[in-house]
C-alpha cells in the first residue's frame, strides 16, 4: 500500500490482494465504497475531494452496492470514521 499525499487530496494505491483483504473487494455490501479501480490497479479515494463527496452522497442516498466506509484493521485510515 502506498499513500500519495498531495496539496489537497490523499490517494492510496494498492494491489489486488490488498483490495481483497483490506477493502473487502468482492464481498458485496461489506466492500468499502471508497475503493476505486482504473487501468493501473486499485486505489482508495476516501480522502480525495471531490471524488469522496460523491461517494458520501451516494452512501447517504443508499444508491451504492458497496456500503463500507473503511477505518477497519489494515485500512490506510484505520480507526477513522
Delimit the domains of the chain by residue range.
2-61
pLDDT tens-digit map of 24-80: 999 999 999 999 998 889 999 998 888 899 999 999 999 999 999 999 999 988 887
pLDDT of residue 6: 75
Confidence (pTM)? 0.87
pLDDT of residue 49: 85
Three-state SS annotation for the chain: CEEEECCCCEEEEECHHHHHHCCCCCCHHHCECCEEEECCEEEEEEECCCHHHHHHHHHHHCCCCCCECCCCCCCCCCCCC
Amino acid at each position: 500500500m502506498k499513500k500519495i499525499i498531495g496539496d489537497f487530496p490523499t490517494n492510496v494505491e494498492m494491489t489486488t490482494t490488498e483490495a481483497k483483504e483490506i477493502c473487502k473487494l468482492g464481498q458485496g455490501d461489506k466492500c468499502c465504497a471508497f475503493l476505486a479501480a482504473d487501468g493501473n490497479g486499485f486505489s482508495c479515494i476516501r480522502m480525495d475531494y471531490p471524488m469522496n463527496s460523491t461517494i458520501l452522497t451516494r452512501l447517504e442516498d443508499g444508491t451504492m452496492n458497496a456500503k463500507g466506509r473503511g477505518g477497519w484493521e489494515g485500512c490506510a485510515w484505520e480507526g477513522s470514521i
